[in-house]
Amino acid sequence: LLTTLLLLVPAEAQFPRLWGMTAIGGANNKGTIFYMDGDGTDYTTVFDFDEVSGSGLEGTLCLAPNGKLYGTSNEGGSADPASGTLFSYDPVNELFEKHVDFDGINGGTGWGGMVVAPDGLLYGGCCSGGGTGGCIYRVEPSTDGYTIAYALDAAADGSGIQDRLLLTPDGTFFGLAREGGANNGGTLFHYDPNSGTYNVLHHFDGGLNGRTPLGIPCVADDGWLYIATLEGGTDDKGILCRYEPVDNTFQKLLDFTGPNGQAPWNAPVRIGPDLLMGTTALGGSNGSGLIYRYIPSTNTLSEAYSFNGLDGGVLHGNIHRSADGTFYGMSNAGGTGFVGTIYRFDPQTNGLNTLHSLSMLEGYGAQGDMIEVGNAVSVTEHAGPRRLTLFPNPAADHITVRTEGARPVRIRDAMGRMVAMYSVKSSIALIDVEALSPGVYSVEAGSAIG
């Protein structure tokens, strides 16, 4: 028996539906969940937070296999002390649910967000709770059950996981703690959810070689992990560095000085072979933050776009690479309301469009990234048993496929020719579709393996 879904790999701009959160503002001045179409239309607030549901939404939403969006708040909730909440929002049924009230012991101060692991669980980090350095937690979407998976010791492990973890092909994670460690400059770590093993790979020195690493480590084609620090370096404006996991080698690549960027809140993201791109919160030729290009083979950083304050500024969030071939992001300042913007950047022309200026009533203080859930171009699923789900759809680089048990998964083109085959061995897998030409493909899940 086959279960088949259609996957769209767009050639032209097919505007996505983008979802995000604001940390402040909204009806109760506690932040919001919103969506907006990629052409700048249909900006809609779907939930206004209050003191009980949470406040200070400074992270990124996670689309779980059950179709719900999961997130954490930095503050608020019903616990004492109120240290934030863990929640979900069902975009189909328009239903918000609070699952955990953090009290600083069971977790709390959730700056980052979650990522879907091969076992179908969601993993994330809190800056508080568990141990003196916060914790790594997991969520079971089918029951919304929450568990601390690892408690960090600030001195030994680092402290304050402020962004999402990086999922590797073997189902383990790399991550960054912004403080603590041997030099109180933060750490780069590896965590294996199967064995519960946490290993510090690098202690930042807190000075010339970087302090306060933020963001999600970036794996480039050369096999190195690329990381940016918010502070440290020759001008104390941050550095770009890299780490080689096999040889345990750390290299400082360059200093941010202001004109080439200042205070990066994120690591760069892989765009293609020998090309990374990222953002800095401040600096650049106009002083309000920039989008940069970085070429690993030549250790060359160049300005792609400098914000001027009118089109946005103070970039705490990173760029999101969309299936439409452009990048979307949020700024924390600027725009007509002076409280931030949502923008689209075209890497081919270096052109930037301000799609929406945020307001205090809508919500502002955006810190995290936006994610795609849905698209203006609908892709219809074949009727049949729900043995197969995939997201995002459309997709530009990767899809997450979930099946009922271990099954072979095949991708066929419009002519019915098989262009790729994978063996999903643990119900969920991350599949690279970057090499596929633009078009519509069928994704099949066959009979169970074994």
Q: What is the mean pLDDT of each run of 10 residues along the chain (450 residues)?
A: 54 76 97 96 97 97 93 97 97 95 96 92 95 97 96 98 93 97 98 97 98 97 96 98 96 98 97 95 98 98 97 95 88 95 95 97 94 58 48 73 76 74 71 77 68
Whole-number pLDDT of residue 379: 35
278 in Cβ contact with 264 (< 8 Å) = yes
Peptide bond into 169 cis (omega under 30): no
What is the Cα–Cα distance from 369 to 59, expressed in whole angstroms?
Answer: 7
Please return the burial class of 349, using the count of CB atoms within 10 Å of its CB with bins 0-12, 13-18 and 19+: exposed
In the chain, the amino acid numbered 79 is A
By C-alpha distance, which of 227, 134, 119, 249 is closest to 172? 119
Please return the burial class of 170, using the count of CB atoms within 10 Å of its CB with bins 0-12, 13-18 and 19+: exposed
Whole-number pLDDT of residue 417: 67
- Residue 271 phi/psi, 5-degree rounding, is -105, -40
What is the Cα–Cα distance from 292 to 278, expressed in whole angstroms?
Answer: 5
Bridge-partner residues for 388, per DSSP? Answer: 403
55 in Cβ contact with 71 (< 8 Å) = no
What is the Cα–Cα distance from 192 to 199, expressed in whole angstroms?
Answer: 9
Whole-number pLDDT of residue 323: 73
By C-alpha distance, which of 228, 230, 238, 283 is closest to 258? 283
Judged by DSSP in three states, 154 sits in: helix
What is the Cα–Cα distance from 302 to 319, expressed in whole angstroms?
Answer: 16
By C-alpha distance, which of 112, 117, 113, 87 is closest to 100? 87
Distance of CA 314 to the CA centre of its chain: 18
96 in Cβ contact with 53 (< 8 Å) = yes
Whole-number pLDDT of residue 322: 87
287 in Cβ contact with 266 (< 8 Å) = no
400 in Cβ contact with 116 (< 8 Å) = yes
Radius of gyration of the chain (CA): 21
Whole-number pLDDT of residue 37: 94
DSSP structural state of residue 155? H
What is the Cα–Cα distance from 97 to 70, expressed in whole angstroms?
Answer: 10
What is the Cα–Cα distance from 12 to 271, expressed in whole angstroms?
Answer: 18
Whole-number pLDDT of residue 445: 76
What is the sign of the dihedral through the CA atoms of 181, 185, 190 and 192?
positive
What is the sign of the dihedral through the CA atoms of 308, 220, 61 and 90?
positive
Please return the burial class of 246, using the count of CB atoms within 10 Å of its CB with bins 0-12, 13-18 and 19+: exposed
Q: Strand runs (DSSP E) across 49-113, as ranges?
A: 62-63, 69-72, 85-90, 95-101
Whole-number pLDDT of residue 386: 42
What is the Cα–Cα distance from 439 to 414, expressed in whole angstroms?
Answer: 8
Residue owning tokens 């914790």:
135
Please state the length of the chain. 450
Where b means 16+ CB within 10 Å and e means fewer, 428-437 reads: bbbbebeebe
Bridge-partner residues for 75, per DSSP? Answer: 55
By C-alpha distance, which of 171, 172, 148, 175 is closest to 160? 175
